[in-house]
């Protein structure tokens, strides 16, 4: 090769090197931008993960507290040991038995040494219950009759039948003046 050919090859090589460097500069700037966006996404994901972790820890703490409360409440319920008499009394009150009558029933159950529900059919209790019912009926009967009658006073309106012309005009004026 001649010297001129060498110069042409060197010029071509230097031009190729320059193009390669330019392409590298453009590629690195794109890579740098890609790295920056990836780092931003990574930070967003980290903060989101931290928030989710904090929420999960809070919910776990609330769950533990709820379980503790539920277990203590259950143990309190188990410790109450309701007697059969209390349960029967509650049932009778729910059915509408008066508290005075219930106290009579309890006293009779103690005397007879039987449960409340069995003593409910005892002849003595039935007599006591009948006398209480009779007293209540007597109190209601003392209220007296109502005064006045249930007759409805007829009021004349414009649409009432059998109105004279003067009565109709008077009602019309009265309604329009209001």
pTM of the predicted model as reported, rounded to 2 decimal places: 0.37
Dihedrals phi, psi of 115, to nearest 5 degrees: -65, 160
User: Minimal CA–CA distance to 121: which of 92, 96, 93?
Assistant: 92
Q: Which residue has the tokens 């008066």?
A: 98
Per residue of the chain (178 residues), what is the pLDDT tens digit? 566 666 655 666 666 666 665 665 555 666 667 788 888 898 999 999 999 999 999 999 999 998 888 877 776 666 566 778 888 888 888 888 888 888 988 899 999 898 888 888 899 989 999 999 898 888 887 766 666 665 666 677 777 788 888 988 888 888 888 6
End-to-end CA distance of the chain: 125
- C-alpha distances in angstroms, 60 versus 54, 56, 66, 67, 137? 10, 6, 10, 10, 62
Over its C-alpha atoms, the chain yields an Rg (Å, rounded) of 50
Spatial CA neighbour of 93 closest among 116, 122, 62:
116
- All structural domains of the chain with their residue ranges: 1-81, 84-141
**CA-to-CA distance for 158 and 166, rounded, in angstroms?**
11
Residue whose token pair is 């529900």: 117
Residue written as tokens 């590298």?
Answer: 24
Token output for 121: 């059919």
């Amino acid at each position: 090769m001649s010297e001129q050919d060498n110069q042409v090859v060197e010029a071509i090589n230097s031009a190729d090197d320059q193009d390669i460097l330019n392409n590298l500069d453009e590629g690195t700037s794109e890579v740098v931008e890609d790295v920056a966006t990836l780092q931003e996404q990574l930070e967003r994901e980290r903060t989101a993960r931290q928030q989710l972790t904090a929420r999960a820890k809070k919910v776990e703490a609330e769950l533990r507290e709820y379980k503790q409360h539920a277990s203590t409440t259950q143990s309190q319920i188990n410790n109450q040991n309701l007697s059969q008499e209390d349960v029967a009394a509650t049932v009778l009150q729910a059915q509408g038995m008066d508290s005075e009558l219930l106290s009579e029933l309890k006293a009779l159950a103690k005397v007879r040494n039987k449960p409340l529900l069995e003593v409910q059919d005892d002849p003595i209790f039935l007599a006591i219950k009948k006398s209480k019912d009779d007293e209540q009926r007597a109190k209601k009967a003392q209220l007296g009759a109502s005064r006045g009658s249930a007759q409805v006073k007829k009021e004349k309106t414009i649409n009432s039948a059998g109105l004279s012309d003067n009565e109709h005009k008077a009602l019309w004026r009265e309604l329009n003046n209001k």
